[in-house]
Amino acid sequence: MYSDSTAVLGPLAQLAEPHSYDLCSDHAGRLTAPRGWEVVRLTPEFVPTGPSPDDLVALADAVREAGRPRPAAPAPEPAPSGTEITRRGHLRVLRGEG
């Protein structure tokens, strides 16, 4: 709350806020505000929490997905001369002769 000259320090944000920053417990414990500002601490002591069951399941799913073999992409067939190969915006790449 800039206009109130107040810095509010609390739990990690659930949504992105333009004027909010997530701090680790070390930095949150050492936070100071400009002279004349008030610091409001919503949680008096920062207690580190371990991973939740949801975090562990998400990590296990990500590792499983990364370990799955990916099917090989089929080799592209050569395009006939003068055929559009790709397009990027208003530019086109055409297969030339030779």
pLDDT at 84 exceeding the cut of 90: no
Higher-pLDDT residue of 47, 15: 15
Q: Please list the residues that pair with 8 across neighbouring strands.
A: 40
- Residue 86 tokens read as 């790709």
- pLDDT tens digits, one per residue of 56-79: 899 999 999 998 888 887 877 766
Do residues 55 and 62 touch, judged by C-beta distance below 8 A?
no
Res 3: pLDDT = 64
12-45 residue pLDDT tens:
777 777 878 888 878 888 888 888 899 888 876 6
Phi, psi (5° rounding) for residue 43?
-120, 115
